[in-house]
Every structure is written in C-alpha cells, then in structure tokens.
A = this chain, B = another copy of it.
Amino acid sequence: MARRPPNEQANYVISVAAELAGVHPQTLRVYERKGLVQPQRTQGNSRRYSEQDIELLRKIQELTDEGINLAGVTRILQLETDLSRAKARLERAAQQLQTAQEQLQIVSTRSSLVPLRDIRRIRRAMKSDALDSASKPRVFVAPPVTPIDQ
C-alpha cells in the first residue's frame, strides 16, 4: 500500500474514476447525489476522485453486484467500519491482557521486599503506628529471582 497524505490528492476525473471502478459515469453522479461518495471539485466545478474514493466505489460495486441496494450499502459500510474498529480494539485488549498476564507471572514469583538492613527503621514505624500483632512485620527469606526486564 502506498503512503498517502492526510488530505489525499484527488486526481481522477469522472470518466477515469468510472473506468477504474467499473461503472458508468452517470452512476457516480447518482452515488454522489445519494451521499455515498463525495469527490472533491475543481474550481470549474468538475469532480475529482481520490484513490480512497476509488476504493470506496469498488467496495460499493462489490456490494451492489450481490444485489444489495444503496440503502443497504450505506448501512453495511457503517457496520463494517464499526466491526473493524471493534476488532482492532479487541486485538489491542488481547495484547494488553497478555502483557499483564506475563508481568503477573513474573511478579508473582518474585517480591517487592524490604532488605533486612531496613528492619530497624520499619519496626520503629510499625511500633509508632500501634498495630496489632497480626500486622507486625514478619521476617522472610526470598528465594533467588531473576531481575524484571520490564
């Protein structure tokens, strides 16, 4: 796929666009009147179709070839946009989920611990907070772990 500028150039006059899309020029005028395709206009009021317009026209052609009328085409184009958006979001959520689960796997086999040399500072803090015995700091030995590579 060629890269395109944000505001794509509209290079094709109606006869060429019609040829590229495999339809009659008059059909393109009808589609425009119905709001299916909005080509740009030259200063002289001639239509100019972009590459994206051509793609859209081909998509419309594909659907009408299946006997779908223009009301249906409009709805289907919208639904397909929604669907591909939902699929993209799903893809992204699945990626994030996998990342989170991998991190969970890593983190749950290691610990965010306080080194023994800090024990006095911690005990002091705990004491001043007057915690019950269940909340007293406990001493553990952490098994060796591999570092987090974030």
Specify the chain B residue showing the minimal Cβ separation from A103. Answer: B104
The complex is assembled from copies of this chain, and their number is: 2
**Contact present for A113 and B142 (CB under 8 Å):** yes
A136 to B68, CA, bound (A): 71
A64-90: which have CB < 8 Å to B? 66-69, 71-73, 75-76, 79-80, 82-83, 86-87, 89-90
A141 in contact with B112 given A73-B72, A75-B68 (CB within 8 Å): no
A interface residues, Cβ below 8 angstroms from B: 63, 66-69, 71-73, 75-76, 79-80, 82-83, 86-87, 89-90, 93-94, 96-97, 100-101, 103-104, 107-116, 118-119, 122-123, 126, 131, 134-144
In the bound complex, CA of A134 to CA of B100 (Å): 27
Point out the residues of chain B lying under 8 angstroms from A137, CB to CB.
Answer: 141-144
Give 24 A-B contacts (CB < 8 Å), ordered by A residue. Answer: A63-B75, A66-B71, A66-B75, A67-B71, A69-B72, A76-B79, A83-B86, A89-B90, A90-B90, A90-B93, A97-B97, A100-B100, A104-B107, A111-B112, A113-B113, A113-B141, A114-B141, A115-B140, A115-B141, A116-B139, A134-B144, A135-B144, A137-B142, A137-B144
